[in-house]
Structure 1
């Protein structure tokens, strides 16, 4: 089989990620690229080659067959990297090779020259970022041949957010009443991803353990896959007021609801590297220009586990809510058009009773606040 020697200096030195991207194991040997160093980009923690006259960029020389090379080209292309020729040093002497370098990369993304340059360290990256990168790569590589590379590249932030949600799922609530799942309790014969955009749809051919014993018959199940999310209901105990936001929602519109503007708690996706609390505070600033004080957790839950992977962390957030807190907000590049309402607590409960507040996390938050309201007002 004809192979192409490729020098790997960055994240593909991680054996697990390399296997995900290439589709199989590839033979590798230690190698180095003289005159270069592996440095961090200016903003972020991924590697690029930076000129270093006395340097030797350490890496691996991989022998890639045609399919593995095509897969790697596609993956590296998501980040604006393309192959170019290089000569690397190996234990057997110099070797001609290919190496992926950024194409059309803005100067602001490249590492600064001189002493300010930060070296990129594989072990540090593996400890902090590799699990997320591997899961994100699994989804991205599954889209190869189904979606154009440029579309997948645009979706990379939400792919990473979904990968973060899978990592978060290891923090499982107790199993004191429900079944405690064990190895082999769910057997997946096939997994498909017919759609992947801001959300994804995954289809499974599977069997699962039955309460009466044994395994179920094979079945098809589908799930609407998204990132984990946060909601926060701002409450001012002194004024006994809450803030709710209003915005157009595609879900009610798609259902045929004649009133597709929805009253909600402040909400948003948990980005990779964020805690739920950090997300709650960020979203309050973005959607309502509001600084939140203490956050009171009121629940962690799947809003619709029969069809959706979404997992929500809900909070009551203590805040000052004068009349001036109401107004318009939202992030322009996300096409958000949000109106913030400041209303008395009793008005919120009336909206819940009439159904005008028909958003599940808002209803849950209102009922949770009702239980805590007296204590919060008493200080």
Structure 2
């Protein structure tokens, strides 16, 4: 008996080796086998499949894919004050891969955990920043690392201000979160992308969206 396959793992899941086995949307791909390599909290699988190349020949391929569920992120902005509200927290993977101290400046974000994307991001914004936003604007959905991670992130934006402040934020201490909030002028946030102080992909994408198509578009035209 194997946890996550025949018996529940620590999150109560079974049948984790069935993921992707029945996919038929792409006639050039035939799933052959799915093996669960790890299911501690998230799931690491090795999938064996047959792939038909552009010249018509088939090959047997294997890929590992990491499944942590889908997520959502949100840019909180004040268009009148020309500021954005970001977070700062320690990220071990960045720290072990040459980031100076592992503390990344980011937009509020989190996993869906079974909720709809809009509901999840309103929850995460409140937990991390203390601001309760109304209906957020959906910006786009992105596969952040499609070569190895299944996660799709739903991007949102919403205004914040004194009227949305409802708590201290900081994240959920019981889950090990220790999150600071930073209110920054939008032009400074853009400068922090250029000099490397902001090095998180989802944050860069939302800040650039805000400059190109979002709430700061008219005021930031011509900024290089």
TM-score (norm. length: structure 1): 0.51
Partner of 1:277: 118
Deviation, structure 1 residue 267: 0.3
Please say if 1:251 is aligned against 2:93: yes
- For residues 177-216 of structure 1, the aligned pairs below 5 Å read 182=25, 184-215=27-58
Partner of 1:63: none
Match of 2:149 among 308, 319, 328: 308
Q: Which residue of 232, 240, 244 corresponds with 2:82?
A: 240
Where structure 2 has 5 or more consecutive residues not aligned to the other structure, the ranges are 220-224
State TM-score, norm by structure 2. 0.83
- After TM superposition, list the pairs within 5 Å mapping 1:1-379 onto structure 2: 140-141=4-5, 144=7, 152=9, 154-156=10-12, 159=13, 182=25, 184-215=27-58, 217-272=59-114, 274-320=115-161, 329-371=170-212, 372-374=214-216
> For the pair shown, which has the larger CA radius of gyration, 1 or 2?
1
Tell me, what secondary structure is at the counterpart of 1:333? Answer: helix
Asked whether the 8 Å contact 2:75–2:157 carries over to 1, the reply is yes
Q: How many residue pairs are counted as aligned between the two chains?
A: 213
Cα deviation per residue 1:219-274 (whole Å; 9 max; x = unaligned)?
A: 221111111000001001111110110001121123243321111110011021x2
Q: CA 1:182–1:278 in structure 2 vs 1: closer, same or farther (change >3 Å)?
A: closer
User: Does structure 2 retain, via aligned residues, the 8 Å contact 1:326–1:340?
Assistant: no
Pick closer, same or farther for the CA change 1:183–1:352 going to 2, 3 Å.
closer
Q: Deviations over 1:133-181 (max 9, x none)?
A: xxxxxx8325x4xxxx6xx2x323xx59x9xx98xxx9xxxxxxxxxx7
RCO (CA 8 Å, sep 6+): is it higher in 1 or 2?
Answer: 2
**5+ residue gaps, structure 1:** 1-70, 75-138, 171-180
Contact preservation (8 Å) 2:132, 2:166: no
